[in-house]
Structure 1
Amino acid sequence: MASERDPKQPDPAPAQWLLVDEGWGRKAVDFASLSEPGNCREYVSLHQLLGVGPGDHVLDVACGSELAAARGATVAGLDASQRLIAIARDRSPEADLRVGDMHALPWADGTFDVVTSFRGIWGTTPDAVAEVRRVLRPGGRMGLTVWGHIKASPGAWALSPFTLATREKVANQAAMVSLGRPGAGEQLLRSWGFENVERHDIPFAWEFADPEHYARTIASTGPAYEAIQAVGEEAFLDHARTAAAERLRDGLPLRAVILVVGYVATKPLDRPPVPDD
């Protein structure tokens, strides 16, 4: 089968994606055991919208696919962090899990019934959608989630330590979340030929036992690593503990509800056009 990869797009830069392991992989165990379980509402909601179930061959890009397997699907996954993939393989030894670049997915055209990405494809990586389309079979479904209006979120405080990063990094963070703006994700998916594009509000809430638990959890993420590079780990942790201490509630966990947007769409049965330059 001929590849649908757009010849007008530049070749991916693998070295750039290998650097992701420095941020997301340096505390992979903390991330997998402290941060990721709080994402379950998000995963379950998107899988429900996509109707994931037995008989589906599902790929997840830049995240885990364990819960899709729990719904009866055959699963595959890709991440740029070798250390996170090692944890995913420990959890799902039967899954096809690979380290790689989402701009150059190592699967053939039309391999999957469903492709998902949970806050893995951003406004700064829109061309990854072309690869998602390529590996989907005609009529296949795709779903992705992105942060919504963070400043309007009751739990925006939980992301505030990320702003300790350099001005350049903070500006990049803002560009990353741009797909959550009204119309942005819809326009991107339609530009790559997807149809039946729908936007949904996705339930999301982090909960933490105490400020120390919160600080350790948030420090395990990639954006935290950018802030830690700027101010040092102890300053980052102190900032996080202080932010959380102001929101303690007697007899209740610290809770951060953050607005998340989900998009679902289908690949047409005919071959869609690629965007113009």
Structure 2
Amino acid sequence: MTNQSVIFFDIDGTLLTHEKELPASTKEAIFKLKELGHEVAIATGRAPFMFEDIREELDIRTFVSYNGQYVVLNGEVIYANPLNIPALERLTEKALLNRHPVVFMDHEDMKANVPEHAYIRESIETLKINHFPTHDPNYYKGRDLYQSLLFCPEGEEKQYEQEFAEFDFVRWHPVSVDILPKGGSKAIGIEKIVERLGFPKERQYAFGDGLNDLEMLSAIENSVAMGNAEDRVKKAAKHVTKSVEDNGILHGLQMVGLL
């Protein structure tokens, strides 16, 4: 394994452009990595059902989803960290009073606690996926949920952060925030995979651009921030490549010597 590495890629703003397109140079680079014997994996905040097409197109069977809460190695679930349901129920009650919708998410589907809301449509549509949450206010009952979405304008999540210590809140859209188990992160999900695969720290790589990549980029020795990332994200990474639209993945892989 001395010449092989494991490389984790975020999706939105990293593998995919802001128009949700996969650059040809990125696809070619991924398959070249695989030809060279490297392990290629995804590390995303998305639900598993939100990137089935990408996994199929790139022939990837190992991934960290829900920002580390649902981890699959070669098609097998090896780690799952569900939300605290009683606390989520209390949060949902408060959110209803504030007219802030909530979407419940497990590994198979997502359901909204309200029939319709502009914030849900506005944010989910930016992902350009085939799934859209339908209405089921009781979806949280009797099942494991790995992430929820709280829909509110920037700054209004502070009240939830102060009251619900069971969760971490990570904003991914001007009107939407991820609700995660406290302390959960992509870094923890990645750790579960590399423990199984046995790659040393110097053979671990990660590419990302968002605030939910901070822990991953800080923890991985050979981390690469995209050129389109915020300054805070770039500072967390060891390297900074070009933007996703400017063949950033290919450039970054060449920069760190993998291609």
How does the TM-score come out when normalised to structure 2?
Answer: 0.31
Q: TM-score, normalised by structure 1?
A: 0.30
Please identify which structure carries the higher helix content: 1
RCO higher in structure (CA 8 A, sep ≥6)? 1
